[in-house]
Structure 1
Amino acid sequence: MLDTYTLANLKGVGDKQLEKLHKLGLFSVQDLLFHLPLRYQDKTRLTPLSDIFIGQEAQVEGEIFSQQLTRGRKNSLLVKLHSADGGLLTLRFFHFHFRQAQQFVRGKTLRVFGEVRSGPNGYEMVHPAYQFIDPQDPPPLEQTLTPTYPTTEGFGQASLLKLIKQALVLLKQYPLDELLPKEQALAHQLPGLNRALFILHAPQPDDDLHLIKQFKHPAQQRLILEELISHQIGLQQLRQLEKSRLAPSLPPSRLANSLIASLPFALTHAQQRVLQEIRSDLSRHHPMQRLVQGDVGSGKTVVAALAAIQAAEAGYQVAVMAPTEILAEQHKQAFEEWLQPLGIETAWLNGKMKAAEKRYMLAKIESGEAKVVMGTHALFQEAVNFNQLGLVIIDEQHRFGVHQRLSLQQKGQKIVLEGEAPPTDSPDRDVLPQFKALEETEAQLAQGANEHRKSESNTEMRQNRLSEMHPHQLIMTATPIPRTLAMTAYGDLDLSIIDELPPGRKAIETAVLNNSKRFEVMEHLYAKCQQGVQAYWVCPLIEESELLHAQAAEVTANQFTERWPDLRVGLIHGRLKGEQKALVMDAFKKHELDLLVATTVIEVGVNVPNASLMIIENAERLGLAQLHQLRGRVGRGDKQSHCVLLYQPPLSETGKARLNIMRETTDGFRIAEEDLKIRGPGEILGTRQTGGLQFRIADLRRDAEWIAAAQQAAENIVAHHSALAEALQNRWIGHKIEYQHA
């Protein structure tokens, strides 16, 4: 069997090589087989020198007719080739040794492989691969395409290729098991796993290289589908794990209905639908795991507050966590405004609190007096002990690491003693193994009589009756996530979408202007402020920089106050202390300020309905999601709002596309789809820092068409082929499984 062979069994692998292979994520011979080429070189044919063209990767032969050393800022060695058909080519080497230069003797014949470029004197190849050949007895051409693999420092292509060739020999002797149910591969007309691996490690000249380069070859699709299925299996198992855990059942809330009746606005149909989904989840005896997506201004906060009220009225505590102090402060103000009239006590934690205030808050939390606790990452601290945490609300979850989220959830795990089992009318009682275990233990105790209660076995049975209680979890994001990405990144969660804005909201009009119009925009802003409008001016930097063509927030604020002394200008950036930020924001909310000059710290959480003008300077430096979030700070009242995106030319093609999308639409989900194309899933979800969504072969942008099929196949495998599910997990995730199920 192939799994009995370790990397150390392969020729040429010692301790140092093993360490380098581990850096590449290669721990077994099977890992080597799934370490696929980044690209391929076609050395199976020769291209006549007279037929080459710019941008082509080609293998050619020619005779050396000159060699010279050019001196300048970079010394270079130029070797010129010609062929009988009249073709000419220059080879350029920037890094060379004089002995290497002496080898290029006029009249010798070279076989060369490289990319054709345009040079000062015609076609060039820079640092090509080459070999001297005898034109009367040339070496045979390669029989298959030559793969180029991802590698690491100190471990070159040649070394890696030798090991993979050994792995392919073993694969012929010990084929890998086909783990997909036959109907899956047949349904998509895909080759078997082993054939797919042989094709991709050694494509034949007649294989469609164009399809391979686009990752559309059936052999690649076979592996992509299997990897996506294995990932979806992990998500399905996580979902099952959560459904097997206990959580407090929270009945419908009278106080929540009181808040709805007192609101100065009516909930939208989308808010009502999502609220009903949350209420239904909270009433069950396993933890809610729900992701609520809603575009900026769609009203997620009030839905979260109503969920918090349901938990608090049932006697449980709620933790509300936000990634920034400004957003956490916004939640604090909104929740206090809604909850305190209902008699629900709140608490507030941040990292910059004075010791005495922090001790007071911690005591309120530990005693259970504070029912709703809001804060930033300060909620993770070991000193924070909840009395009875029943609900965790996480805003902008993708900004937190996975371990941070889990650590907060674990603060809510509570031991349930005998007598605290969920009631017998629980709809989930029959499907939860914990309930069955509790019932079995009850029966055993009933049979025991008095002397049995005193025995060691009785003690053991009492310990068996202990079970962990987990809090419900509500995750919110104002960053719309494309459906395909949500299915993959959050497939273990139930998804709710608030896809409706409150009535009366007008679409924000967006203009894109060259930075040369900057002063005209400033004058227009001043005129609008004189008419009672409030405005934001966003700058990417805090201080002036000679390296970046970006106006700093401090400089911009000074320019406004010097030019228009009567304009009331506030300044906010990341270096201000929390209290200072709060004072500035409060003054802006009360219309004691006309203009707020800020860095991107106001990206989320700022809600000032009277502010209807947003200027974003150096907009070409910001991503689509960030631009959309910033623009969402206006358009929150009944006034027509405007956003101006100032850019510094020249714009890249990506920059032009990004700004055009912002001008064309305010639909967050369309913007999210475009953002996925430009930035990729890792940056959108923040997983480059948190360790998630790391695929060997699959790419969520490129392979989105396979995600629905993978999800459906995974459900079938988990339900009917448990052994295959485990084997697929071991093959594709391996040592990551424990982390994924943490």
Structure 2
Amino acid sequence: MSTNKLSLTSPISDLYSKKSKTVEKLNSINIETVEDLLWVLPKKIVRLPDVAAFKFANIGSYFRGLGHVVSVQARPNFKARGKGRASLYNITANVQDKFSGDVLSLKFFNCYGSVKSKIESLKEIEFLGVVSEFNGVVQIANPEFNSPESFAGETGLKIQYPTIASVSTVHLKKVIDKIPAYLWLEIEENLPKEIIEKHSLFSRQDAFRYLHGKIDIEKWNEADFEKSKERLIYEEFFNDQVKINLRKKSRKSFQGIQLGISQDELVKSESLYPYELTDDQKSTLKDVISDMDSGTPMMRLVQGDVGCGKTTVAVLASYLTIKKGYQAALMCPTESLAQQHYESINKVLPDGISIALLLGSSSTKEKNQVLEGLKNGTIEFIIGTHSLFQDSVEFKNLGLSIIDEQHKFGVEQRLKLVGKGAGSHCLIMSATPIPRSLSLTQYGDLDISIIKTMPSGRKGSQTRIVTPENFPKFLGFLKTRIEMGEQAYILVPAITESPDQNIKNLETTLERFKHFFPQFKVAPLHGQMKPEEKARAFKDFGEHKIDILVATSVIEVGIDVTNSTIMGILNPERFGLSSLHQMRGRVGRGEKPGFCFLITDRILQPETMHRLQVIEKYNDGFKIAEEDLKIRGEGDLFGSEQSGVVTQKRISNIIMHQDILYRVIQDISHIDDLTPYQNNLASDEKIYTTI
């Protein structure tokens, strides 16, 4: 242990006198300081019972007993091995009650032989654990035990920490118990006094001390334990909102490009499309134009289901930006989507506007021509992928950056593109509807527009779960629709064979469907194909040279073929709800109705089946997002691709604690100056980070 006086900012290594593997494990999950340790909260705390006769052992409750060891049996567990391939045992110790003579079994699973030796060495054994029943026999599994003399000091509270980073609950408690008593009294308050008084919140110091059992044992109770958690939940949401509000205020302080777009110009721009915009599209476009005339840089998130017309709004905003003498950039997550946008936008914008495409697969000559055109301003609208944020890309006069499928990009990538134009505006598009409660935390610093209304003429899609029993019916339905001139997607989670035999792969599935339908053209599409091969597959499918496209989730974004009406998703349990919803949005995009089939080949766990039933039941992306948030939690709504966004909070949960979140938002709106509280954020990497 360090000889210097410890502080809350001291590294946890200072709690030890020598190098510790426990410290290394905790450091690996960003638990680095003593204060970080405070946030590792117990799962529960219970009062330790007094020693009692065995007849008072109630199933499901903690019990503390004392007796003589009658017998000890150890059976090797051949399915498990310890360190260095050491043998592990399942041990049964039968103990006779000191008070009544009754016998109780203590069970120890996956133990080293030393556990048996220690039990046998005890004349008397005192033990503590939760009582259970197995095959009608009352027992205690994996209890704590020792001689009565060694157990003498074990009174008061039993604190159960979670196991994290392979650090057991016992070792975690030992680490936290190393924190000196004086440090618990140095925990400072970081919430406004008036808020603490208004809601009768615990002080920060009292909350942490209560949650870790560092108080007078006689004063401890379950109700105050919960109130202590509520205090820290409030603090987390408060810090989120401070950061969000300060970031928003900072953005508003910058001078933005003012385009000065008139109402007449706005109305005329809508005539670029041969159909009338929906009310939601018109409202969103007005929001965008208002932002770009406000004098501060726009940072607006436009969200809505696949096919709701977000791109239409983005194209019109780009057109109006270009007409005012500025450049526009559209960044897409995949080359196929960028290529599709390039082709469709070229058909919409009038002649005279210079549009270019910049991809990772572009030739050196093509790249150099595009880079020169962006720098001298001859290229007015650039569409591309990650290539757009490279240092070599310079704009003469960037006015608008558009990020499509924003959750596919990291924060730094988006900032790099937006930063290429002084005072430029940013429009962010997401086809993953974000629940209101999540948008208040993860996207609270952005202005948000929602497009819910679908363009007229779209039939949408129906979704059904297909079990092995009705798979032949699915094949028959697929055959009928293709004979009617329609097209289909068959989606799989993997390209090649996996060690997990339950996962369908593209190679095998492609051959199966060629065998099922030799009369139809069946072709593959996946992310490992060369860019030109993927482009050819997209083109051939769009021209109906392919009847059935067997693909991976690469089609989640980037395909718009109105003749495709059937989608079969194999192993749907391998995809998130948002991905399933996005993928099925590829069918039913025209006048013909779409059909999505979630094809399972085995009996699924009830919770897995519930997820699929959510997709089967709801077509509303916002409802699905809410259900997804309940099932998976805020930490994984977008999955691992949400790089740059740390979404897992310590203890607050925006579904379970919405009432506290809304209370914080209301409270913080009455605080004129939030700068005194930005110190709360200095070392906090767990607060949400957006653009």
Note whether the superposition's TM-score is higher than 0.5. yes
Counting only pairs closer than 5 Å after superposition, residues 404-483 of structure 1 correspond to structure 2 as 404-412=413-421, 469-483=422-436
| Aligned counterpart, 2:93 | 79
172, 175, 197: which one aligns with 2:208? 197
Post-superposition offset of 1:546:
5.6
The answer to whether structure 1 residue 304 and structure 2 residue 307 are counterparts is no
**How much has 1:176 moved relative to structure 2?**
2.1
Q: Return closer, same or farther for 1:3/1:331 CA change in 2, 3 Å cut-off.
A: farther
Aligned match for 2:323, one of 302, 305, 313: 313
- Alignment correspondent of 2:83: none
- How many Å apart are 1:355 and its aligned residue? 1.6
* Whole-Å separation in 2 of the counterparts to 1:28 and 1:103: 36
Contact 1:39–1:149 (Cα < 8 Å) also in 2 = no
Assess if the C-alpha contact under 8 Å between 1:68 and 1:79 holds in 2: yes
1:26–1:32 CA contact under 8 A, matched in 2 = yes
| CA shift for structure 1 position 563 | 3.7
Tell me, what secondary structure is at the counterpart of 2:670?
helix
CA 1:48–1:473: 2 relative to 1, 3 Å = farther
Q: Distance in 1 between matches of 2:333 and 2:57?
A: 55
Query: Which residue number corresponds to residue 43 of structure 1?
Result: 48
Question: Distance between the aligned counterparts of 1:109 and 1:6, measured in 2?
Answer: 45
Within the candidate set 108, 116, 137, 1:101 is matched to 116
Partners of 1:350 and 1:696 in 2: how far apart?
39
Contact 1:394/1:474 (8 A) holds in 2: yes
- Judge which range, 578-587 or 658-667, deviates more: 578-587
Match of 1:139 in 2: 152
CA contact (8 A) 2:411 2:690 kept: no
Preserved contact between residue 538 and residue 597 of structure 1 (Cα < 8 Å): yes
Is residue 7–residue 183 contact of structure 2 (8 Å, CA) maintained in 1? no
Say which structure, 1 or 2, has more relative contact order (CA 8 Å, 6+ apart). Answer: 1
| d(CA) in 2 for partners of 1:373, 1:31 | 45
Give 2:666's aligned residue.
Answer: 712
State the Cα distance separating 1:617 from its structure 2 match: 1.4
Identity of aligned pairs, percent?
32
Q: TM-score, normalised by structure 2?
A: 0.88
Letter in structure 2 aligned against 1:275: L
- TM-superposed CA distance for 1:734, in Å, is 4.5
Query: Aligned residue for 2:161?
Result: 148
Q: In structure 2, what residue type is equivalent to 1:195?
A: D
**Alpha carbons of 1:575 and 1:481: their partners in 2 closer, same or farther (altered >3 Å)?**
same
Residue aligning to 2:183: 170
1:525 aligned to which of 468, 472, 478: 478
Work out whether 1:390 is the aligned partner of 2:399.
yes
SS, match of residue 304 in structure 1: helix
Match of 2:250 in 1: 241
Aligned partner of 1:450 in structure 2 is none
Q: Does residue 188 in structure 1 map to residue 199 in structure 2?
A: yes
- Asked whether the equivalents of residues 603 and 629 of structure 1 are also in contact (C-alpha less than 8 Å), the reply is yes
CA deviation after TM superposition for structure 1 residue 269, in Å: 0.5
The offset of 1:473, in angstroms, is 0.8
Q: What letter is aligned with 1:320?
A: L
Q: What 5-or-longer segments of structure 2 have no aligned partner?
A: 80-88
C-alpha offsets along residues 107-148 of structure 1, whole Å, 9 cap, x if unaligned?
A: 8332223444555683444443211115xx972542234252
Larger helix share, 1 or 2: 1
Are residues 1:335 and 2:348 paired? no
Q: Go from structure 1 to structure 2 and tell me whether the alpha carbon gap of 1:355 and 1:12 turns closer, same or farther (over 3 Å shift).
A: closer
Q: Output aligned runs, 1:346-425, within 5 Å.
A: 346-412=355-421
Q: CA deviation at 1:571?
A: 1.8
Separation of aligned partners in 2, 1:9 and 1:476: 42
Task: Trace 1:701-740 onto structure 2 (pairs within 5 A).
Answer: 701-717=655-671, 719-720=672-673, 722-723=675-676, 725-730=677-682, 733-734=683-684
Measure, in 2, the Cα distance between the counterparts of 1:308 and 1:242.
21
Residue 577 of structure 1, CA deviation: 1.7
- Please say if residues 322 and 396 of structure 1, whose CA atoms lie closer than 8 Å, have aligned partners that are also in contact: yes
Structure 1: tracts of 5 or more residues without a match: 413-468
Q: 2:191 aligns with which of 179, 187, 194?
A: 179
TM-score w.r.t. length of structure 1: 0.83
Q: Distance in 1 between the 2:53 and 2:643 partners?
A: 48
Q: Establish whether residue 494 from structure 1 lines up as the match of residue 506 from structure 2.
A: no
Aligned to 2:73: 68
| Cα drift, residue 178 of structure 1 | 5.3
1:42 Cα shift?
A: 4.2
Q: Deviations over 1:43-86 (max 9, x none)?
A: 35457544546655544444321112224525333222243273
CA distance in 2, matches of 1:210, 1:511: 46
1:613 alignment partner, SS class: strand
Q: 1:647 to 1:734 in 2, by over 3 A?
A: closer
Give, in angstroms, the shift of residue 492 of structure 1.
Answer: 0.8
Give me the whole-angstrom Cα distance separating, in 2, the residues matched to 1:68 and 1:272: 77
Q: Is the 8 A contact 1:178 1:192 kept in 2?
A: no
Offset, 1:255: 6.8
Letter in 1 for 2:436: R
User: 2:167 and 2:522 mapped to 1: Cα distance?
Assistant: 57
- C-alpha deviations, 1:484-535, integer Å up to 9, x for none? 1111001110011112112233342211111343333223211111112222
